[in-house]
Amino acid sequence: MAILPLIRFPHACLQQVADPVDATSARTAQLARDLLETMHAAPGIGITACHVGIPLRLVVIDLPDGPGPRIYANPDIIWHNTETATAEEGSVSMPGIHAPVTRPARVRVRHTGLDGIMMEEEAGGLLAVCLQHEIDQINGIFWTRRLSPLRRDRAMKRYSRQARLNGAG
């Protein structure tokens, strides 16, 4: 396993639709392991191949107090309810910046496991938030696009200020 270099917003890979991945290939399994290690090192609870500059539809999620790492190849949201929930979100590609995002409270996701079996999973709570966030990412939608214009402007100013301070130090 390896910790891969994370790309930073506004890298073009974070704003493009990712290509389907071959769920059963050994390269995909290795990339999933590397993404898991990279995500833990960041630290984060969700990551996509896009976050390391590889535009493939591969998502890894490992929630605190969860059942362990989950790997989603070629995931798509096939249903969401009308009830919404708001949660703080951020990105390993924009460290230190968080803001509240409102999304559907429950989703159903269709994806392929690394064994090649297609499955569906319904989720609520933090898992629903993570799935929507990461699936947005592989669809070229960076999380800040889900913010109101005012919140987005504030987040971008904080990120810019942080980048200037880090560059100066």
- Which residues are catalytic, by number? 134
* Centroid of chain to Cα 23: 18
**Long-range contacts at 43-46 (CB < 8 A, ≥ 24 apart):** 44/91, 44/92, 45/126, 45/130, 46/130, 46/133, 46/134
Cα 134 to Cα 138: distance, rounded to the nearest angstrom: 6
